[in-house]
């Protein structure tokens, strides 16, 4: 039996949830046994190393549920798990009025019923005793099983809310089983003040318990700045619509200074971005490095000059990519979405309106290029200091681990 059971999307399988790799090292220092239940294999076929004392089960869905939708539906429907809870949600939330709501309910129902299938449920219960803390790394999908735990067991359940699992407008205005989840959770944990305020206001009638525990990244070596006449800009994300990399390309058509833009990350829109950069003026050089590991990202910062980090996403929680950038002492330009304003301070960064003009971003690039070296160094040091106070993984994860461990004494 485990003292701490964690439900993840795919970790330690696949390539996602890299930030959990850091957190679990701290959890492992306080909990004698940790067991992980991944929902799916995620992207990639590798299994990452976990610390001694940490064990994990095979994923409930032994394929990528984002790539094999029909197989997911078949696996989630054709088993003998409970089904009555779905009809209650279907009627109370009037899900039948919206195709998007129906899709969301179907996806979550498939996940919940797969986990509740007798052979899987039996394996879960075998890992739980009276003092086991049950921790859901995300606030959707797998959390649908929490009411079933609460009805039969007195274990403390905790869910952490980030971005797409929190803001319902990102899911067509509906995330299934939300009220049932909040009624049965011991604590709802948030990575940003904005996220905490959002859910507390939306479900103020439920009076559920909340906590704020920010994510964090390790102390990284200060990245060197450019010493020639080139402004070096970095961005790091999947190349998908919400990240809006096309806006960076459009902004670069207006810059006057010499620029090298490097993007770390791959995705389905990478070919279209490659086509777009062909029309950029000769003062702009672009390097699209494609999909890279988290270690590769850090290595890039340690061995290359970087002047500015840019993020023009339409939606965010609190970007881990920005945490890594400020830990490396890199000033930031980012859109004011989600909890980004909690990580970008005006002493080292600039927040853009979500619907900014491309020429405005170009002006910010040129303005930074024209700053003197002392001004740039002050911004770099301010970024590092802000990281230390707010997003230091050692401090943040130690505090969060102590909170979870303390729940065993409640």
The pLDDT score that the predictor gives to residue 115 is 93
Coil, strand or helix at 189? strand
Contact between 56 and 38 under an 8 Å Cβ cutoff? The reply is yes
Cis? peptide before 12, omega within 30° of 0: yes
pLDDT band, very low/low/confident/very high, at 151 (cuts 50, 70, 90): confident
pLDDT band, very low/low/confident/very high, at 82 (cuts 50, 70, 90): confident
How far, in Å, CA of 313 to CA of 319, rounded? 10
For the segment 219-234, the average pLDDT, to the nearest whole number, is 95
pLDDT band, very low/low/confident/very high, at 188 (cuts 50, 70, 90): very high
The pLDDT score that the predictor gives to residue 70 is 78
* pLDDT tens for each residue of 201-213: 999 999 999 999 9
pLDDT band, very low/low/confident/very high, at 1 (cuts 50, 70, 90): low
Catalogue all structural domains in the chain, each as residue range(s) with its CATH number: 4-216+393-409 (3.40.50.2000), 230-390 (3.40.50.2000)
The pLDDT score that the predictor gives to residue 181 is 94
Pick the closest to residue 309 from 241, 383, 394 (CA basis). 383
Coil, strand or helix at 379? helix
* pLDDT tens for each residue of 296-317: 999 999 999 999 999 999 999 8
- The CA-atom distances, in angstroms, between 278 and each of 231, 245, 274, 285 are 19, 14, 7, 10
Pick the closest to residue 19 from 328, 405, 393, 317 (CA basis). 393
pLDDT band, very low/low/confident/very high, at 410 (cuts 50, 70, 90): low
pLDDT band, very low/low/confident/very high, at 154 (cuts 50, 70, 90): confident
Contact between 319 and 238 under an 8 Å Cβ cutoff? The reply is no
Per-chain mean pLDDT for the chain: 92
Percent of the chain at pLDDT above 70?
Answer: 98
pLDDT beyond 80 at 45: no
For the segment 165-182, the average pLDDT, to the nearest whole number, is 93
Pick the closest to residue 65 from 99, 102, 39 (CA basis). 39
CA atoms in the 13 A half-sphere facing the CB of 83: 8
Coil, strand or helix at 303? helix
How far, in Å, CA of 154 to CA of 151, rounded? 8
Q: What length is written for the chain? A: 410
pLDDT beyond 90 at 64: no
- Cα 226 to the chain's mean position, in Å? 30
Q: Region of 394 please: left (phi>0), alpha (psi -120 to 50) or beta.
A: alpha
For the segment 329-349, the average pLDDT, to the nearest whole number, is 96
pLDDT band, very low/low/confident/very high, at 96 (cuts 50, 70, 90): confident
């Amino acid at each position: 039996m485990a003292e701490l059971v964690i439900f993840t999307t795919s970790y330690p399988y696949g390539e996602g949830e890299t930030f959990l790799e850091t957190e679990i090292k701290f959890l492992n220092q306080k909990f004698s046994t940790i067991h992980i239940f991944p929902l799916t294999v995620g992207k990639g076929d590798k299994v990452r190393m976990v610390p001694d004392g940490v064990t994990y089960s095979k994923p409930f869905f032994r394929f990528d549920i984002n790539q094999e939708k029909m197989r997911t539906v078949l696996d989630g429907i054709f088993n003998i798990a409970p089904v009555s809870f779905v009809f209650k949600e279907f009627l109370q939330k009037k899900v039948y009025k919206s195709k998007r709501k129906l899709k969301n309910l179907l996806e979550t129902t498939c996940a919940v019923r797969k986990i509740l299938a007798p052979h899987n449920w039996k394996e879960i219960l075998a890992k739980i005793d009276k003092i086991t803390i049950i921790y859901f790394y995300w606030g959707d999908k797998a959390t649908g099983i929490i009411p079933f735990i609460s009805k039969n067991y007195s274990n403390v359940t905790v869910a952490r809310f980030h971005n797409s699992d929190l803001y319902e407008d990102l899911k067509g205005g509906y995330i299934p089983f939300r009220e049932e989840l909040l009624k049965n959770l011991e604590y709802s944990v948030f990575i940003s003040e904005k996220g905490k305020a959002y859910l507390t206001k939306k479900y103020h009638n439920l009076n559920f318990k909340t906590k704020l525990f920010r994510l964090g990244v390790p102390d990284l070596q200060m990245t060197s700045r450019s010493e020639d006449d080139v402004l070096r800009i970095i961005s790091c994300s999947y190349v998908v619509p919400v990240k809006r990399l096309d806006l960076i390309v459009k902004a670069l058509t207006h810059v006057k200074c010499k620029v090298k833009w490097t993007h770390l990350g791959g995705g389905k829109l990478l070919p279209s971005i490659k086509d777009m950069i062909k029309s950029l003026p000769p003062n702009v050089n672009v390097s699209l490095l494609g999909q890279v590991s988290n270690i590769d990202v850090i290595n890039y910062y340690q061995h290359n000059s970087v002047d500015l980090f840019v993020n023009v996403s339409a939606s965010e929680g609190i970007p881990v990519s920005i945490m890594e950038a400020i830990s490396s002492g890199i000033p930031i330009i980012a859109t004011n979405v989600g909890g980004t304003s909690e990580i970008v301070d005006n002493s080292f960064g600039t927040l853009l309106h979500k619907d900014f003009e491309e020429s405005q971003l170009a002006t910010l690039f040129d303005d930074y290029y024209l700053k003197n070296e002392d001004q740039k160094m002050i911004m770099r040091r301010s970024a590092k200091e802000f990281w230390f106070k707010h997003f230091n993984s050692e401090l943040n994860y130690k505090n969060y681990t102590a909170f979870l461990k303390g729940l065993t004494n409640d």
